[in-house]
Structure 1
Amino acid sequence: MELLERRIRESGVVKPGQVLKVDSFLNHQMDVALFREMARAWGREFADRPVNKVMTIEASGIGLAAIVGDELGLPVVFAKKAQSINLDGSVHTAQITSYTHKRDYDVIVSKRYIGPDDHVLIIDDFLANGCAMEGLIAICQQAGATIEGIGIAIEKGFQQGGALLRERGFKVCSLAIVESMDHETGRIEFR
């Protein structure tokens, strides 16, 4: 998606350790107009799939998934990173490792909100090694839900996550795939 790539070039900051900081428009401060264009792109990409639910993971994916859900007229479920007193009953759970935060999380979704009748479109802001995505996939599999596709805002194409998901047969639509980036020059190359 040219619009997203342009925004990454204009506002993204490459940090040491292969970190791309896009918090000015994607995952801290949110550009809702850009999100709406991204949601429309995913809507076109997955129009042939019987999606009835959008799913993401707390916290950075929530804003983006909410706009996708609104655009598609679908409910949005997010995997929580902590058990709360508001979450009653039985849950599906998986453990993920956060690339950005360098820690493990148990993520949970109430069994009330995902089940075998659901056809899920997973949405997230980043895909690097695919650890968060593996957790969401595990939750969908525990629930007996069908994963109809995976929509990613920014994929780090030089890391293995996207390739592994595609090899497993998942339809992955990444709107911007970063092929390489250099923190010393700030240069970002797209696939």
Structure 2
Amino acid sequence: DLFKDRQIDKILTIEASGIGIASLTAVYFQVPVLFAKKSAGSNMDKELYVTEVKSYTHNKVNHVVASKKFLSEGEHILIMDDFLANGCAVEGLIDIAHQAGAIVEGVGICIEKGFQGGGDRLRAQGYDVKSLAIIEEMDAESGSITFR
């Protein structure tokens, strides 16, 4: 609903945990969903958009790919993901969209870890990032969570 006034032609996410929220969003907008894979499989097209994404969770760099035949110049893209920490996954998806000549209309996130700064950095770059919840700080000892 946060992006209902935007032209959205396709939802873009990254495997695997982003697929659920992206699929539900695609149903709402009645558009296809495309998920970028963290590695090229043997059954994928050979014509790929490729970017590097550092995983905060797993502390490794993935070569993220999406088939060129499913993302086209001029398409209006909404990027969706479950969590946003330092923003590397979203930056990788933005890079893939830009390689295709697509237009990033916005970024939808379920839970943003605001204390890690990724969302704030993306907003400062001009991207419309909307998060359903932003965690400002967490204390593992007390179990407390403070929302922005």
TM-score by length of 1: 0.76
SS at match of 1:81: coil
Query: Is 1:115 aligned to residue 72 of structure 2?
Result: yes
Structure with greater strand percent: 2
SS at match of 1:158: helix
Aligned counterpart, 1:130: 87
Higher Rg: 1
- Residues 48-91 of structure 1 show CA distances to partners (whole Å, capped at 9, x for unaligned) of 11111001001110111111111221100000011112112310
Cα-Cα RMSD: 0.8
SS at match of 1:86: coil
Query: Is 1:102 aligned to residue 59 of structure 2?
Result: yes
Query: Is 1:167 aligned to residue 124 of structure 2?
Result: yes
Distance 2:63 2:39 in 1: 7
Query: Is 1:82 aligned to residue 7 of structure 2?
Result: no
Alpha-carbon distance, 1:158 to partner = 0.9
Aligned counterpart, 1:154: 111
Aligned counterparts, 1:1-191, within 5 A: 44-191=1-148
- Structure 2 stretches of 5 or more lacking a match? none
The answer on whether the counterparts of 2:8 and 2:29 sit within 8 Å (CA) in structure 1 is no
SS at match of 1:84: coil
Off by >3 Å, runs of 4+ in structure 1: none
Name the count of aligned residue pairs: 148
Name the % identity. 52
Equivalent AA in structure 1 for residue 49 of structure 2: H
More off after superposition, 149-158 vs 83-92: 83-92
Equivalent AA in structure 1 for residue 119 of structure 2: G
Equivalent AA in structure 1 for residue 25 of structure 2: V
SS at match of 1:51: coil
Alpha-carbon distance, 1:187 to partner = 0.6
Structure with greater helix percent: 1
- Structure 1 stretches of 5 or more lacking a match? 1-43
Distance 1:141 1:80 in 2: 17
Distance 1:51 1:67 in 2: 14
- Residues 4-58 of structure 1 show CA distances to partners (whole Å, capped at 9, x for unaligned) of xxxxxxxxxxxxxxxxxxxxxxxxxxxxxxxxxxxxxxxx211111111001001
SS at match of 1:141: helix
Distance 1:47 1:61 in 2: 20
Alpha-carbon distance, 1:117 to partner = 2.6
Distance 1:47 1:149 in 2: 11
